[in-house]
């Protein structure tokens, strides 16, 4: 029981009328402090459901999540989420979106000036200070995701949850943002749990890759440790033997042993 964050025998079933579908079955996963763990699987395997259970947004049917020795079963800023579709509040400016989180989390601990400085600091971390007075509708998709990241980081979460954060972005923007996330992980030492369906992304960013079998009754099929040293450089890794080997392992798992059967 020494794990920083433990997902302990989590089952999740959805009821519809009389039929009950078991989506996740006996998921157990330990995440160490400062570790970057990716969860990869075909669409519909329940990986987003798993993240929502950790976030507390969806209750687990059986089992639970233990964070620093404490059972967590409702949402909270200690498990900040970066949502796939950014989820910024469109009536607030970039600054106000982050400030809302800062005010809520540090309202009693920090002075007004400190909260302002902390908000700006986090916007600076994701290089979004220049657009702080813009509204979400006035900035690009990648920028929105950066602000979402700043908002999550500003809460100083124990675990940072990323729900396919780069899924809706074009390839170039995605690469740029991956580098940002990698740099921030290096700098701040956050514990990160990321949902993804991109093999390269998983290998590039993660310390460990959790591969999920196909649902229903999805389980953890295999856990791969990525033994690449940090800091990692995208261009150097393209021809790196370890990188390619890891990549191959994940691809084999996804496309040979647990091929996606149904149409998505």
Q: Which residues of 21-41 are buried (b: 16+ CB within 10 A; e: fewer)?
A: ebbbbebebbbeeebbbbbbb
Nearer to another protein, 137 or 259 (CB): 137
Widest Cα–Cα separation across the chain: 56
**Cβ 88 to another protein, closest distance in Å?**
8
Decide if residue 168 touches another protein (CB under 8 A): no
Beta strands per DSSP E along 56-133? 62-67, 70-72, 81-82
Decide if residue 44 touches another protein (CB under 8 A): no
* d(C-alpha 83, C-alpha 249), whole Å: 28
Nearer to another protein, 74 or 256 (CB): 74
Nearer to another protein, 79 or 208 (CB): 79
Nearer to another protein, 111 or 137 (CB): 137
Per-residue contact string for residues 222-261; x = within reach of another protein by CB under 8 A:
----------------------------------------
Question: At CA 232, angle to CA 228 and CA 238, rounded to 5?
Answer: 85
**Cβ 144 to another protein, closest distance in Å?**
10
Pairing mode of beta strands 208-212, 191-196: unpaired
Q: Among residues 105, 169, 211, 224, which is the contact residue for another protein, using CB under 8 A?
A: 105
Show the tokens assigned to 233: 């450089």
* d(C-alpha 213, C-alpha 254), whole Å: 8
Q: Among residues 3, 22, 26, 57, which is the contact residue for another protein, using CB under 8 A?
A: 57
Site for another protein, rule CB under 8 A = 55-57, 74-77, 79-81, 83, 85, 87, 89-91, 100-101, 104-105, 135-137, 155
């Amino acid at each position: 029981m020494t794990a920083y964050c433990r997902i302990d025998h989590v089952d999740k079933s959805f009821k519809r009328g009389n039929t009950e579908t078991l989506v996740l079955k006996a998921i157990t996963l330990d995440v160490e402090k400062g570790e970057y763990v990716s969860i990869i699987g075909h669409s519909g395997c329940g990986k987003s459901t798993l993240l929502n259970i950790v976030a507390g947004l969806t209750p687990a049917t059986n089992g639970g999540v233990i964070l620093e020795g404490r059972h967590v079963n409702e949402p909270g800023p200690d498990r900040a989420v970066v949502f796939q579709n950014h989820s910024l509040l469109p009536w607030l400016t970039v600054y106000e979106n982050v400030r809302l989180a800062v005010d809520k989390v540090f309202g009693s601990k920090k002075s007004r000036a400190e909260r302002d400085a902390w908000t700006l600091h986090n916007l600076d971390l994701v290089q979004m200070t220049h657009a702080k007075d813009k509204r979400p509708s006035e900035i690009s998709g990648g920028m929105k995701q950066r602000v979402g990241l700043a908002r999550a980081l500003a809460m100083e979460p124990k675990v940072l949850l990323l729900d396919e954060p780069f899924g809706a972005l074009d390839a170039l923007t995605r690469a740029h943002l991956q580098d940002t996330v990698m740099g921030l992980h290096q700098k701040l030492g956050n514990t990160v749990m990321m949902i993804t369906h991109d093999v390269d992304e998983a290998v590039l960013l993660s310390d460990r890759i959790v591969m999920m079998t196909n649902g229903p009754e999805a389980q953890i099929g295999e856990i791969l440790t990525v033994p690449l040293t940090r800091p990692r450089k995208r261009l150097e890794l393209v021809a790196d033997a370890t990188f390619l080997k890891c990549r191959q392992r994940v691809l084999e798992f996804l496309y040979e042993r647990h091929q996606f059967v149904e149409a998505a």
